[in-house]
Chains A and B, each alone.
Chain A
């Protein structure tokens, strides 16, 4: 994208170069469109759950911008020679069940015969132009809440190795099929300064995006990082996705780990997440109130994981 010139337009409020979750275009003084697109390869064996996960993952960017999704289009790549169309039917039913839950209307879609299975959605939502939640509008002293446990990349790898326990798989699927809608609706009752969701770049990658263009750093309390079951053991056995190492190679130099930090935290901050939680930045008092509101609503893994400060040298400190 770097070399592609895009005409400037004052109605384009958020675009790809902003490294935010979705694009935003103002269509009137009170309405801006949010547009996003995401698709993934299968992350679990059950096609219906795969469809649900892909849909939650695609919708998440709209919630992370502080918006409300309205419509969606299916994006499908399907190997018709390898799998029966019943599988595709189940994937689409899974996606539709999530759209119904989110009160989003499917308007159509497009499919191609593909060597690898892919499913996702293009989603359109709305937000008031003055209420866009950008990812890097953090303020000094802000406290950071993460709403879901980390470790989906490691568990997905363990499923491929047949090393994930049933209870871990259930927790993993439950986490990824939980819409960020619920956390976002609660978040919008508070004066949130910035928000994003944790996806492929892992926690550390998305923290760097929150810090982009600011002079602040983030200090993370590793003891407060919520983890999916079994991830510590699996990572120690080398059940680690390639994406985790790629994230580490790409952003590792921006991070300072305390010398006594457990190995799992040195891994988990780079683990690529699918349908990960929201990262919400707001002042400390509001953060405690938001956290208890999230817990009361059953978002049990929500946790205050750190705070934004002026610190020299590195951008991210894991303590």
Chain B
């Protein structure tokens, strides 16, 4: 089952903080929604550092980042 984190409208570093929390909570598959390039790049860095795969798709102004543990 895939969890969803809605980080739209949040400025940095909150999307990363939410991503880190999901990882700490032991989630291995989840989605993060962000709406800025800054948040997209920062969340991708966080996932990479934590050894997660990330796939990004765009829906209008929203980036949907699918994260899964490597």
Q: Which residues, 18 to 63 on B, are CB-close (under 8 Å) to A?
A: 19-20, 36-38, 41-46, 49
Partner of B45 from A157, A160, A240 at Cβ < 8 Å: A240
* Nearest Cβ on chain A to B66's Cβ, whole angstroms: 17
* Nearest Cβ on chain B to A44's Cβ, whole angstroms: 15
What CA separation (Å) do A157 and B12 show in the bound complex?
A: 7
Q: Which residues, 171 to 199 on A, are CB-close (under 8 Å) to B?
A: none
A161 and B11 within 8 A (CB): no
List residues of chain A with CB within 8 A of the CB of B16.
161, 237-239
Per-position 1/0 for A142-164, Cβ under 8 A of B? 00000000000000011011110
What's the tally of chain B residues with a CB closer than 8 Å to chain A? 18
Partner of B49 from A157, A158, A163, A238 at Cβ < 8 Å: A238
Q: Which chain B residue shows the least CB distance to A240?
A: B42
Residue A298 at the chain B interface, CB threshold 8 Å: no
List residues of chain B with CB within 8 A of the CB of A109.
none
Residue B13 at the chain A interface, CB threshold 8 Å: yes
Q: Which residues, 227 to 248 on A, are CB-close (under 8 Å) to B?
A: 235-242, 245
What CA separation (Å) do A240 and B14 show in the bound complex?
A: 11
B49 and A240 within 8 A (CB): no
* Nearest Cβ on chain A to B27's Cβ, whole angstroms: 17
List residues of chain B with CB within 8 A of the CB of A157.
12-13
List residues of chain A with CB within 8 A of the CB of B20.
161, 237
List residues of chain A with CB within 8 A of the CB of B36.
242
Binding site for A on B (CB under 8 A): 11-14, 16-17, 19-20, 36-38, 41-46, 49
